[in-house]
């Protein structure tokens, strides 16, 4: 059985989703970080509200765990939507699945489609007239006896979320009036998020302790809240429920999360690259074979954060470790290292 990766940016399931939902902000004014996106959305929402029109469709892209679902619910609240319907690309396997959702929408409602890049092509094309003209044409019964029925839809706002914007077709992307990219959060913003979550969970902790949780959260609110839960559990069992910097250090040492937010899989990747391949360049297939991991796991789960913090670079020849990676692992930097990397 695979070991849970505590610093994974992916949701661990329904239980965590319910937990995070309780910690979500409900209004734009409560949102932390993503300042440029929030400002643009607040202007668009205010303008649409004054005109009495539904907000133009919105596309949110960025790595998992940055709050795309949260932001969708906040937008719906700001627009006064009666209903917010949540689904995902893989769940809409056929046109009838989407038709059911669309025909249930009331004027001004919001539909949120996560992983929208995974919509099957027939479903995606079925969505085009719904987004543009608030209508759909549905074929009842196939073959010679089939007939097309036109359904008029009430004006709604579609919010699509994707972690892979490059996989969206140009036709789909162009139908979104607003397109926003979510960035990783700064440590200061994450500290504010952790402080808010700690308040809602009635966790007593000083600023330094909560700051250390934030600094190891890989720029991601979902990871920050998950680490906060683990630290809370440790404090309740070993430290009378009080969060201090030392308690946080002890709790995260047990979880094998170091000062930069790296876990054992991250460190194993870097060690394989440095110790087996001399720091690189090395192909991802070779590294995956050495580690006994799937290539997709390394590319989607490990590499993004290592690239973000400057421990890894991608070259035409393959992956290469930087001086910062050597220093973090306490390894000697090779004398013949390339100046551009070090």
d(CA 92, CA 118): 9
Query: Given 9, 163, 220, 322, which residue is catalytic?
Result: 163
Q: Does domain 34-181 have CATH number 3.40.190.10?
A: no
Tens of pLDDT, residue by residue over 279-336, are 989 999 999 999 998 888 888 778 888 998 899 999 999 999 999 999 999 888 877 6
pLDDT at 338 over 70: no
Print burial letters for 104-135: b (CB count within 10 Å at least 16), e (below 16).
Answer: ebeebbbbbbbbbbbbbeebbebbeebbeebe
109 in active site:
no
In the chain, % helix, strand, coil (3-state, to 5) comes to 50, 15, 35
The CATH number of the structural domain formed by 187-254 is: 1.10.8.60
Note the pTM of the prediction, 2 decimals. Answer: 0.82
Residue 62's φ and ψ, nearest 5 degrees, are 150, 170
d(CA 311, CA 321): 6
Distance of CA 275 to the CA centre of its chain: 32
pLDDT at res. 113: 95
**Ranges of CATH 3.40.50.300 domains, the chain:** 34-181
Q: What is the DSSP letter of 282?
A: B
222 in active site:
yes
Model confidence at 18, pLDDT cuts 50, 70, 90, reads low
Query: Given 109, 114, 263, 266, which residue is catalytic?
Result: 114
The three state secondary structure string of 211-240 is HHHHHCCCCCHHHHHHHHHHHHHHHHHHCC
**Ranges of CATH 1.10.8.60 domains, the chain:** 187-254
100 in active site:
no
pLDDT at 127 over 60: yes
d(CA 286, CA 13): 32
229 in active site:
no
Query: Given 222, 226, 232, 319, which residue is catalytic?
Result: 222
The enclosing H or E element of 3 equals: none
pLDDT at 76 over 80: yes
Query: Given 9, 61, 69, 162, which residue is catalytic?
Result: 69
Q: Does domain 264-329 have CATH number 1.20.58.220?
A: no
**Ranges of CATH 1.10.10.10 domains, the chain:** 264-329
Query: Given 61, 68, 157, 162, which residue is catalytic?
Result: 68
Non-local (6+) Cβ contacts of 276 within 8 A are: 282, 290
pLDDT at 47 over 90: yes
Rounded to an integer, the average pLDDT of 189-211 is 87
For the ranges 139-153, 223-237, 264-278, 324-338, the lowest mean pLDDT is seen at: 139-153
d(CA 227, CA 247): 13
């Amino acid at each position: 059985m695979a070991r849970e990766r505590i610093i994974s940016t992916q949701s661990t399931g329904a239980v965590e989703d319910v937990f995070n939902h309780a910690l979500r902000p409900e209004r734009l004014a409560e949102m932390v970080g993503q300042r440029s996106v929030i400002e643009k959305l607040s202007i668009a929402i205010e303008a649409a509200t004054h005109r009495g029109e539904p907000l133009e469709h919105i596309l949110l892209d960025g790595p998992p765990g940055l709050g795309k679902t949260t932001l969708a619910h906040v937008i719906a609240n700001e627009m006064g939507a009666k209903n917010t319907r949540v689904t995902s690309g893989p769940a809409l396997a056929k046109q009838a699945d989407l038709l059911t959702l669309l025909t249930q929408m009331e004027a001004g409602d919001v539909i949120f489609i996560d992983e929208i890049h995974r919509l099957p092509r027939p479903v995606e094309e079925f969505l085009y007239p719904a987004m543009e003209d608030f209508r759909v044409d549905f074929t009842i019964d196939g073959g010679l006896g089939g007939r097309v029925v036109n359904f008029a839809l009430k004006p709604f706002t579609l919010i699509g979320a994707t972690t892979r914007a490059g996989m969206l077709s140009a036709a789909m992307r162009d139908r979104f009036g607003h397109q926003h990219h979510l960035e990783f959060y700064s440590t200061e913003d994450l500290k504010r998020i952790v402080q808010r979550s700690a308040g809602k969970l009635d966790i007593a902790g000083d600023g330094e302790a909560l700051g250390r949780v934030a600094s190891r959260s890989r720029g991601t609110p979902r990871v920050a809240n998950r680490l906060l839960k683990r630290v809370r559990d440790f404090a309740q069992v070993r430290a009378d429920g009080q969060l201090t910097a030392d308690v946080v250090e002890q709790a995260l040492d047990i979880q094998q999360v170091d000062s930069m937010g790296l876990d054992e899989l991250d460190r194993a990747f870097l060690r394989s690259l440095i110790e087996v391949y001399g720091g690189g360049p090395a192909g991802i297939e070779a590294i995956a074979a050495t580690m006994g991991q799937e290539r997709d796991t390394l590319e989607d789960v490990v590499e993004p954060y290592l690239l973000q913090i400057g421990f890894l670079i991608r070259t035409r020849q393959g992956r290469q470790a930087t001086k910062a990676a050597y220093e973090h692992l306490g390894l000697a930097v090779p004398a013949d290292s390339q100046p551009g990397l070090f």
